[in-house]
């Protein structure tokens, strides 16, 4: 099995394994983990063969937002990424359209299960949890409904330390640890009820919502107000081969690697250089997975410079002003080809490079899940949206935004509450885009350790300043807030706390030994497979190799889960050394010759129904389409995902055909957000699913 046995940051605990069958063969998996994760842990990536063209399909989102992972379990078609594994499950690859089994079993004990609350919070991520805390403190009864087994949302997938304000959003603390902190605070409130493994399937005009609990029970909750904090779904890209198994959303990859601790891949490539793509590369390296590279059509990385610099230092090349041409593979991806783009964003085919990979991560942005907000407004309910459901930003911003949302809804529900204006100012700062880049400052090295700061871009972050016990680091006062660049102001005692807490791993310590030698202290967040006396390849801030350094001391900081390495280096490079290369150049090399056939019209738009760009374009032109609902005639948007994914890609096609988007009517949403068996709707069955 491909389970991770150790991880540099996450605790790998003993798990209970159960036996299941897949296509009549016996396998083992972790009880309660998603079926999709159990299959991938056993090397199974193909979950279905599409009814239209027998195309192989695997997972994409691992979040219940698409239908790529559908399999047959005990005879019924279900999404494997949201179905927990049980002992003796009979799982089969779905081949074509499923035949539903006949059932003569009588329904018994049919009765409604009703819940009541003042506020229903849809989504238990960072913003939903902080909103619930504010509402509970204001005296409201709150139900949090979340579709996962644990609260925290995307925080659970984040092993890196967070940026932002240490005082306001736990900056310097790892995401999965913040999830634990927030959950403990929520569960300490008697007036907050937590319903995990619970999807909100729909909201209705009579101030009620339908809940699908643990994939079994349909229940009803009455509410007075709503917080929409359902997060976001990942955007896909249109390119040939985008439907192949092994083409994941970056969030799906993080779910497999960091939540379920599965080494899902051996060699990956990433499209998208925003923070999500950069962090996914880091998480892959921590799990021992090779990262062949990251490409982006932009001229500079879209994420924080410290994230991009960190990845380059570790040996991952960034291909800027490049686009993906296509992915190759028969039943699973095995190659990906990229090429540079010209000033008109067209690929320059002579620059094409092909890489052998088994996984391609698509990290090209997120789309807010806010349909319930629009419905609630139409029904006239008091409602506020927050987090990624409101605006795509960092989780640090979402936590503070959730507080504001909770107070805003309390006000709508009649509480005499005034929201401090400083809250809005802090929220705006926390979601700021990266700002100016300044030259790196140099200092005169002495026989005492001093911090070397490799953070030169304005981003909202201040842990290094707040943790220093002697105030040796301060933010240079340009903007007058946490966007300012940190600088060393003197007086360092060498405690190394700034090195351990920096989210960007962008602080080192250095001291002079003699006229030729120095020592540096670097943070290291990988498994230590070397000893004192070994030499390690060291790079500058931009990932350029400088020299090998000899390991003098290895110390693990239990509080921050960060290893501190003291290395002997040359005095010449002591201030330039910023990181350790963890993968060799030979790992990331492309094939000698590029392999491609640039046929973008073959790219799939609607993966559920396997409709490609050419079919959509021809239908729009032939029928002068001005209503997206017309495309349902060729099955676009009629699949299991309910049009959630293809709807994000269609505007680009209309734009290419010079059809003004303001002239195109939007698609009609499905009445329920998830698929619910009729038996669950009829027989609202035996347990409440409530978890205090």
Strand-pairing partners, residue 474, are 487
pLDDT of residue 644: 79
pLDDT of residue 648: 82
Tokens of 394: 């960092």
- Range 17-98+236-362 has CATH code 2.40.30.40: no
SS3 state at 394: coil
pLDDT of residue 418: 87
pLDDT at 681 over 80: no
pLDDT of residue 674: 76
Buried b (16+ CB within 10 A) or exposed e, 39-54: bbbbebbbbbbbeeee
pLDDT of residue 595: 83
pLDDT band at 105 (very low <50, low <70, confident <90, very high): low
SS3 state at 678: helix
pLDDT band at 107 (very low <50, low <70, confident <90, very high): low
C-alpha radius of gyration, the chain, whole number: 26
Lowest mean pLDDT among 212-221, 497-506, 562-571, 641-650: 641-650
Q: Whole-angstrom Cα distance, residue 247 to residue 58?
A: 8
Percent of the chain with pLDDT over 90: 76
Q: What angle do CA 124, 126, 131 make, to 5 degrees?
A: 75
Buried b (16+ CB within 10 A) or exposed e, 10-37: beeeeeebbebebeeeebebbeebbbbb
The residue length of the chain stands at 692
Q: What mean pLDDT is predicted for residues 231-242?
A: 90
Tokens of 518: 């120095």
Percent of the chain with pLDDT over 70: 96
pLDDT at 638 over 90: no
- For the chain, counts of helices (H) and of strands (E): 15, 38
Q: What mean pLDDT is predicted for residues 12-41?
A: 95
What contacts 24+ positions apart, CB below 8 Å, involve 428-432? Answer: 429/460, 429/481, 429/482, 429/483, 430/164, 430/165, 430/168, 430/169, 430/393, 430/394, 430/396, 430/397, 430/400, 430/460, 431/391, 431/393, 431/394, 431/397, 431/401, 431/460, 432/458, 432/459, 432/460, 432/483
pLDDT band at 686 (very low <50, low <70, confident <90, very high): very low
pLDDT (tens digit, 9 = 90+) per residue, 376-418?
999 999 999 999 999 988 888 899 899 999 999 999 999 998 8
Nearest CA to 117 out of 231, 216, 195 is that of 195
CB 133 within 8 A of CB 399: no
Strand-pairing partners, residue 114, are 220
φ, ψ dihedrals at 32, nearest 5°:
90, -15
pLDDT of residue 599: 65
pLDDT of residue 692: 40
pLDDT at 687 over 70: no
pLDDT of residue 110: 58
- Selected residue with higher pLDDT from 607 and 457: 457
Handedness of CA 262, 266, 271, 276 (dihedral sign): positive
Lowest mean pLDDT among 135-139, 223-227, 506-510, 646-650: 646-650
pLDDT of residue 487: 96
CB 292 within 8 A of CB 355: yes
pLDDT at 349 over 90: no
Mean pLDDT of the chain: 92
pLDDT of residue 109: 60
pLDDT at 688 over 50: no
SS3 state at 48: strand
Q: At what angle do helices 305-313 and 275-286 cross, to 10 degrees?
A: 30
DSSP letter, residue 478: S
pLDDT at 90 over 50: yes
CATH class (in words) of the domain with range 114-232+368-430:
alpha beta
Label residue 436 exposed, middle or buried (CB < 10 Å: 0-12, 13-18, 19+). Answer: exposed
Handedness of CA 247, 249, 251, 252 (dihedral sign): negative
pLDDT at 690 over 70: no
Q: Whole-angstrom Cα distance, residue 622 to residue 286?
A: 51
Label residue 425 exposed, middle or buried (CB < 10 Å: 0-12, 13-18, 19+). Answer: exposed
Nearest CA to 457 out of 495, 478, 483 is that of 483
């Amino acid at each position: 099995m491909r389970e991770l046995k150790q991880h540099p940051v996450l605790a790998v605990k003993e798990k209970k394994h159960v036996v299941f069958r897949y296509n009549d063969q016996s396998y083992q998996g972790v009880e309660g983990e998603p079926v999709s994760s159990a299959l991938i842990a056993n090397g199974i990536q193909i979950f279905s063969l599409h009814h239209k063209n027998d195309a192989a399909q695997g997972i994409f989102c691992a979040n219940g937002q698409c239908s790529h992972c559908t399999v047959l379990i005990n005879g019924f078609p279900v999404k494997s990424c949201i179905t927990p594994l049980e002992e003796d499950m009979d799982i089969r690859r779905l081949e074509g359209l499923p035949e539903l089994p006949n059932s003569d079993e009588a329904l018994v004990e049919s009765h409604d299960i009703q819940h009541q609350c003042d506020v229903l919070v849809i989504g238990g991520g960072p913003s939903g949890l902080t909103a619930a805390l504010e509402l509970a403190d204001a005296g409201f009864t709150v139900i949090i409904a979340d579709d996962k087994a644990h609260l925290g949302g995307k925080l659970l997938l984040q092993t890196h330390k967070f940026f932002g304000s240490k005082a306001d959003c736990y900056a310097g603390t790892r995401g999965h640890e913040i999830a634990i902190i927030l959950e403990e605070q929520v569960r300490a409130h008697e007036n907050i009820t937590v319903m995990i493994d619970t999807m909100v399937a729909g909201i209705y005009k009579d101030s009620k919502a339908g809940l699908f609990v643990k994939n079994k029970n349909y229940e009803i909750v009455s509410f007075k107000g709503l917080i929409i904090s359902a997060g976001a779904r990942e955007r896909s890209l249109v390119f040939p081969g985008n439907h192949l198994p092994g083409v994941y959303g970056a969030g799906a990859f993080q779910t497999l690697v960091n939540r379920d601790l599965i080494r899902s891949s051996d060699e990956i490539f990433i499209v998208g250089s925003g923070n999500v793509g950069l962090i996914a590369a880091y998480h892959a390296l921590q799990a021992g997975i090779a990262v062949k590279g990251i490409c982006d059509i932009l001229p500079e990385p879209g994420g924080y410079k410290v994230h991009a610099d960190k990845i380059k230092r570790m040996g991952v090349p960034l291909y800027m002003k490049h686009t993906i041409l296509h992915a190759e593979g028969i039943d699973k991806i095995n190659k990906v080809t990229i090429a540079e783009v010209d000033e008109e964003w067209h690929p320059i085919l002579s620059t094409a490079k092909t890489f052998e990979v088994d996984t391609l991560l698509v990290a090209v942005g997120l789309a807010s899940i806010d349909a319930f907000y629009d419905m609630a407004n139409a029904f006239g309910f008091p409602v506020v949206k927050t987090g990624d459901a409101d605006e795509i930003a960092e989780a640090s911003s979402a936590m503070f935004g959730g507080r504001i949302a909770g107070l805003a809804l309390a006000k709508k529900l009649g509480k005499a509450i005034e929201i401090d204006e400083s809250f809005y100012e802090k929220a705006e700062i926390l979601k700021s885009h990266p700002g100016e880049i300044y030259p790196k400052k140099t200092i005169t090295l002495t026989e005492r350790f001093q911090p070397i700061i490799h953070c030169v871009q304005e981003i909202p972050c201040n842990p290094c300043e707040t943790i220093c016990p002697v105030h040796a680091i301060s933010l240079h006062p340009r903007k007058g807030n946490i966007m300012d660049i940190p600088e060393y102001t003197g007086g360092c005692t060498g405690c190394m706390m700034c090195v351990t807490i920096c989210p960007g791993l962008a602080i080192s310590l250095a001291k002079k030994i003699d006229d030729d030698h120095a020592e540096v202290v670097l943070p290291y967040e990988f498994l230590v497979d070397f000893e004192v006396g070994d030499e390690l390849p060291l790079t500058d801030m931009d990932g350029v190799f400088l020299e090998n350094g000899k390991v003098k001391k290895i110390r693990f900081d239990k509080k921050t889960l960060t290893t501190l390495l003291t290395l002997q280096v040359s005095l010449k490079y002591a201030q330039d050394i910023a990181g350790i290369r963890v993968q060799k150049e030979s790992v990331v090399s492309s094939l000698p010759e590029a392999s491609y056939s640039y046929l973008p019209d073959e790219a799939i738009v609607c993966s559920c129904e396997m409709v490609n760009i050419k079919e959509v374009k021809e239908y729009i032109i032939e029928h002068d389409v001005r209503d997206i609902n017309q495309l349902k005639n060729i099955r676009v948007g009629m699949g299991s995902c309910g049009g959630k994914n293809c709807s994000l890609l269609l505007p680009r096609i209309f734009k290419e055909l010079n059809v003004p988007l303001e002239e195109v009517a939007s698609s009609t949403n499905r009445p329920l957000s998830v698929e619910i068996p009729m038996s669950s709707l009829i027989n609202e069955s035996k347990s409440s699913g409530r978890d205090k």
